[in-house]
Amino acid sequence: MSEINESAFPKSEKAGSEFEKTDDSTVVAVTGATGLVGRAVVERLLRSEKYKVVALGRRADALAALAAECHAACGNSENLTLRECDVNDSAALDAALSGATVVVHAAGSVDNLADRAAVFKVNVDGTRAVLAAAQKQNLKQFIHISSLSTITGQADQYDVDESAPLVTCGEPYADSKVEAEKCLAAARTAGSLPITILRPGFIYGPGERAWMPRVIDNIRHGRAVLVDGGSRQTNVIFVGNLAMAIEGAILNSRAYGEVFNLTDGERVTKKLLFDEIAEGLALPPVKRDLPRQTIKPVFEIMAAITPFLPKKMRPGLARFSPGAFRLVAVNQGFSIGKAEQLLDYRNRIPFRDGMAMTLAGFKKNGV
């Protein structure tokens, strides 16, 4: 369990008639509460002292560690309730969401080396199950944490807004998020439960485990490369900024039925990202540079054969995944103007500050 100090949470104030009243009678349930995003949301909401929080997670030990961390960070955990619950367990979800006002669905599988069916079971079937429980318990809002990978594919993106169509790329994680959004779109049309979808880019923060350890390992061992000088933009977002956006969506009627793209709102190039990581961890800078037209066929071939290889061989090929290709070789420029306007997503932690906090956490844990 990693520590996130108070400076990791940008300040925001809710004001205006678009917000329903939030006080300590507003109960926010958070699925995936022991993960990177869920943990940040739980801690932010507890710090605000405006909500009661129900933290849902699969493991009792991880939930207990979360409670201890929140108590240390916030001074108390009186407004925190822990519920051991799998997102595919309908009965447990019904019990966990009973009495809740809003659910933030942050649980999900980010393991692109897992079988496609296993990823879809969590990210698609799990989303359906949480949605059904929220509807059954008459919650006021369902906030879903999706991904910008749902509208990226493998093509360059420049200042893309929320009107872009959903697109699959063959990657289990990204494709499962596309399917989950389609399910929610149908529910938005057919039902009365307000649904809000947030699409963050590559999330970083203390304790991140989905992509940063692999990037750090590649930089450390000289396997990382820049593509065309690393000049293309990446779509990173600090977890504290994402938590602020999530709070900004809670009981915000302007967010009902809406989808929001989310990044740090800065032009962070691939080279800048790699340079910051290397410098922050005292690693050699990435010097090797290859043209995109050279590496693209290699990535495509490796991504095509990886699912057919024994599972024990797949981790070593993760650097050739579609997601890895997007990270190093695809321009990922997205507009966050809608979130700035409707969610008051403005007072953000700058990229360099967020990355410094993130790398401090990695150094503390010996990564």
Residues 24-56 pLDDT 10s:
589 999 999 999 999 999 999 999 999 999 999
Residue 206 is predicted with a pLDDT of 96
Question: What distance in Å separates the CA atoms of residue 137 and residue 129, rounded to the nearest whole number?
Answer: 12
Outline where 115-238 has alpha helix (H): 116-120, 126-136, 172-190, 212-220
Read off the tokens for 148: 């910008």
Question: What distance in Å separates the CA atoms of residue 338 and residue 260, rounded to the nearest whole number?
Answer: 7
Tell whether pTM > 0.75: yes
Cβ contacts of 279-284, under 8 Å, gap ≥ 24: 280/355, 280/356, 280/359, 280/360, 280/363, 281/216, 281/219, 281/220, 281/359, 281/362, 281/363, 281/367, 283/216, 283/219, 283/220, 284/219, 284/222
Residue 2 is predicted with a pLDDT of 47
pLDDT in tens, 155-209: 899 999 999 999 998 889 999 999 999 999 999 887 789 999 999 999 999 999 9
> From residue 286, how far is each of 21, 31, 122 by CA, in Å?
50, 37, 36
Read off the tokens for 1: 């369990």
Find how far residue 189's CA is from the centre of its chain. 25
Closest by CA to 43, choosing from 249, 356, 34, is 34
For residue 351, name the pLDDT band (cuts at 50, 70, 90): very high
Q: Give yes or no for residue 101 having a pLDDT over 90.
A: yes
Stronger pLDDT, 209 or 320, i.e. the higher one: 209
Q: Give yes or no for residue 19 having a pLDDT over 60.
A: no
Residue 3 is predicted with a pLDDT of 46
Residue type, 345: Y
Residue 15 is predicted with a pLDDT of 47
Outline where the chain has alpha helix (H): 36-48, 60-74, 90-97, 116-120, 126-136, 172-190, 212-220, 239-249, 270-280, 292-305, 322-329, 337-342, 351-364
User: What DSSP state is assigned to residue 75?
Assistant: S
* Residues 102, 139 contacting (CB under 8 angstroms): yes
Read off the tokens for 37: 């995003």
Mean pLDDT along residues 345-360: 98
Mean of the per-residue pLDDT values of the chain: 91
Mean pLDDT along residues 226-249: 98
Question: What distance in Å separates the CA atoms of residue 220 and residue 270, rounded to the nearest whole number?
Answer: 16
